[in-house]
Structure formats: C-alpha cells, structure tokens
Amino acid sequence: MTDQFSLQGKRVLITGSSRGIGKALAIGMAKAGASVIVSGRDNVTINAVCGEIRQLGAEAFPLVLDVTQPATFAAALARLPAPPDVLVNNAGTEHLCPSLDVDEALWDTILTTNLKGAFFCAQAAARLMAENGGGSILNLCSLTSQVGVPGAAAYGASKSAMAGLTRTLATEWAVKNIRVNGIGPGYFKTDLTAEFYENADWCQQMQGKIPLGRFGELDDLTGAAVFLSSDAARYITGQVLYVDGGYLAGI
C-alpha cells in the first residue's frame, strides 16, 4: 500500500522553490523519492536548495525560470534532462493594499505572477506530459480562493481564479491522462507573510479562529502535496484540498 504514496521515479518541477512553501515542498517531494527540479529567478538560491536535496540522497536539478515571462517557458523546459511528471505551480506574490488604492501596476504584477504565469507554465508542461503518457499538476491556491480578505483584492482575485482554472484544466486534460488539483494553505508564516506574525494581537485573534489551535508549519503541506502527486490519488482531479487546521470549516 505504501508504494502508492511513493514518488520514486517521478520528476517533479516546483516553481518558486528557492524559499518558503516551495522549498518545503521540494524537500518533501525529494524525501518521498522524487527527482526534484528546483526553479526560480536566482541561480544561487536554487542551487543552494539543490545542494540540500542532494544531501538527502535524492536527485535535484536547478532551472532558472521567471513565471512572469511565459514566452520563455518552452525553452526552459527543453533544458531539462527529461520532461516533468509533476508540476507544482507555487510561485506567487502578495501585497496587501486597500482596494481603492490599488493601481494598474500592482494589479498586473500580482495577476501576472500568480495566475498568468501559472497557466502558461501548466500549458507548457502539459504539452510535454501529453507526449509522455500523462502527469499531474498541482496549483497553489489559498484561503482567499474561498473567502474574502480586506486589502487582498488582487491577490484574492488571482487565487479564486486559480481554483477555477484547476477545475477547468482538470476536465479538459483528463483525456490526456493529466490530473490537475490544488492545495489551499491556511495561515503559514513565510517571507511574504512574516510581518503579520509580528503582531501579537493579530496572532491571538487568528489562532482563535483555527479549530486545531495553531498556525501551520511548512511541513504540514508536504503530505498533501505528495499524496496528490502520487499514484494514491490517481482517481482524484479537479479538487482543491485546504490545509488550514479547520479554518474554513469553522467560519
């Protein structure tokens, strides 16, 4: 039974995997047996993560990839020793701003990074997967895919759209044996969200809304990602699994 949950022999590409959630997923996938393609815009940081993965005895490959430049995706994937079996669309950005103050530049930055980049990266990977018998795509969604957060108009729009995109691609690409699912992290401390956790009142308030009584730790996400990428989830597609300590169930 445990063999179904193994990623042995699978090549996993994770965008934005030089830090935060992406790095945690890269290490978790490696521990599950995958060969991990670590991608990001900075060659130094992605090579550092590759070094950590190799110390675990797993294979790792660096790939410089900028999700805001979709025209470069096909050429970037062509540099890989073999096409990916799994794509994790993790790269993203967030900037809280009152909706009345959001300008076009901020809107475009967030939507281009979080949504446009994810779609075209999925498209480029799916073309290769279709030629190689199929694969799995995992999109990083958010609590804002389900609920509104003041000051997160652009981010919430991008992540709500990501959930819809997950369902659409799942139904369209099933005939190509490509599964498309999502993970919706709850409250996790990362470089993008660290400032919130410096506010003791905010922390107390938010923890009170989480039935499990604590914020997420990055390792809490890896089990869900490994499961949805593995053969154990071979009949699951078009779903978003929220890893939130029960937050959405309790609101």
CATH, residue 238: 3.40.50.720
pLDDT in the model for residue 157: 97
Under DSSP, the state recorded for 89 is E
pLDDT tens per residue, range 94-133: 999 999 999 999 999 999 999 999 999 999 999 999 999 9
* CA Rg value for the chain: 17
The residue whose two tokens read 């992605």 is: 46
Q: List Cβ neighbours of 80 (8 Å cut-off, separation of 6 or more).
A: 11, 13, 37, 61, 63
> Active site residue: 155, 187, 242, 247, which one?
155
Calpha distance 18→62 (Å, rounded)? 10
Cβ 49 vs Cβ 38: under 8 Å? yes
Residue type, 54: R
Q: Is residue 206 part of a domain?
A: yes
Q: Is residue 248 part of a domain?
A: no
Residue 117: name the closest of 165, 83, 84 by CA: 165
- Could you count the other beta carbons within 10 Å of the beta carbon of residue 77? 21
pLDDT in the model for residue 189: 87
pLDDT in the model for residue 233: 97
Quick check: helix, strand or coil at residue 61?
strand
- Could you count the other beta carbons within 10 Å of the beta carbon of residue 140? 27
Q: Is residue 247 part of a domain?
A: no
Number of domains observed in the structure of the chain: 1
Q: Is residue 250 part of a domain?
A: no
pLDDT in the model for residue 1: 63
Cross-strand pairs, 242: 184
pLDDT in the model for residue 100: 97
Q: Is residue 251 part of a domain?
A: no
Tokens of 158: 């991008």
DSSP structure string for 185-204? E-SB--TTTGGGGG-HHHHH
Give the total residue count for the chain.
251
Domain that holds residue 131: 2-242
pLDDT in the model for residue 190: 85
- Compute the C-alpha angle 38/122/53, nearest 5°: 15
155 is catalytic: yes
Instruction: Please tell me the chain's helix, strand, coil percentages from 3-state DSSP, rounded to the nearest 5.
Output: 50, 15, 35
Cross-strand pairs, 135: 178
Low-confidence ranges of the chain (pLDDT < 50): none
